[in-house]
């Protein structure tokens, strides 16, 4: 009796196709480790709710740590006045920042506000000691006016650096 060439060829393909899959999953360096998965999760370090200063400002700001980096995030409920032509996001050492700044000493400017409303994210430089700051400020550089601010509270069990 003649062997069926189709079955023999199909069996050979299955066997050779299965070997690389087993070898790749058993020895792959592309597979994330438990440590890598844990680092990819974001951990809230501090958070606060915006209050109005010169202009209505709402929503929540939170500082997170993710994959060894720190970010300031404004949530989807964030909103401030569109009357500011040059709005910036600041970290301020005081819980209630001034209505206007006579000096930029002590504050960290994280950059221009991306949008007047909605979720946004700003990188915090590694040199910044988060524990030195007690509020997030939406500030109009042109008018030197604090539109709103969020007093920060450390998150429970957060290690602030």
11-25 pLDDT, tens digit per residue, is: 444 344 443 434 444
pLDDT in tens, 77-120: 999 999 999 999 999 999 999 999 999 889 999 999 999 999 99
**Which domain does 100 fall in, by range?**
36-154
Residues near 80 by Cβ (< 8 Å), separated by ≥ 6?
Answer: 50, 55, 56, 57, 58, 87, 113, 116, 117, 138, 147, 148
156: pLDDT confidence band, cut at 50, 70 and 90? confident
Q: Are residues 26 and 42 in the same domain?
A: no
Tokens (6 digits) for 29: 């360096």
Residues near 117 by Cβ (< 8 Å), separated by ≥ 6?
Answer: 78, 79, 80
Q: Are residues 106 and 126 in the same domain?
A: yes
Residue that the structure tokens 């509270």 belong to: 153
For the entire predicted model, the pTM comes to 0.74
Mean of per-residue pLDDT scores for the chain: 82
44: pLDDT confidence band, cut at 50, 70 and 90? very high
Q: From the CA atom positions of the chain, what is the Rg in Å?
A: 26
Residues near 86 by Cβ (< 8 Å), separated by ≥ 6?
Answer: 112, 140, 141, 142
Q: Which of 79, 94, 62 is nearest to 147 (CA)?
A: 79
Q: Are residues 129 and 81 in the same domain?
A: yes
Q: Are residues 119 and 68 in the same domain?
A: yes
Tokens (6 digits) for 1: 């009796």
Domain annotation covers residue 130:
yes
Give the separation between CA 14 and CA 153, rounded to whole angstroms: 59
Give the separation between CA 66 and CA 122, rounded to whole angstroms: 12
Residue that the structure tokens 């501090």 belong to: 46
Q: Are residues 20 and 55 in the same domain?
A: no
Q: Are residues 75 and 20 in the same domain?
A: no
Q: Are residues 15 and 79 in the same domain?
A: no
- For the beta sheet containing 145-151, the strands, ordered from the edge strand earlier in sequence to the opposite edge, are 51-52, 145-151, 135-140, 87-92, 108-112
Domain annotation covers residue 11:
yes
Domain annotation covers residue 161:
no
Please check whether residue 70 is in contact with residue 124, taking contact to mean a CB–CB distance below 8 angstroms: yes
Tokens (6 digits) for 83: 């009357």
Q: Are residues 21 and 48 in the same domain?
A: no
Q: Are residues 23 and 42 in the same domain?
A: no
């Amino acid at each position: 009796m003649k062997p069926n060439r189709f079955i023999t060829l199909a069996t050979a393909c299955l066997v050779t196709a299965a070997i690389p899959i087993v070898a790749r999953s058993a020895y792959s360096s592309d597979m994330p480790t438990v440590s890598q998965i844990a680092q990819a999760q974001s951990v809230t370090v501090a958070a606060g709710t915006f209050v109005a200063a010169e202009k209505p400002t709402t929503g929540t700001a939170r500082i997170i740590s993710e994959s060894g980096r720190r970010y300031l995030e404004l949530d989807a409920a964030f909103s401030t006045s569109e009357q500011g032509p040059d709005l910036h996001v600041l970290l301020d050492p005081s819980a209630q920042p001034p209505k206007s700044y006579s000096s930029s000493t002590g504050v960290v400017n994280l950059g221009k506000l991306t949008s007047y409303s909605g979720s946004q994210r700003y990188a915090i430089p590694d040199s910044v000691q988060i524990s030195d700051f007690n509020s997030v400020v939406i500030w109009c550089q042109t008018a030197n006016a604090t539109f709103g601010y969020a007093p920060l509270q450390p998150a429970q069990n957060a290690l602030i650096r």
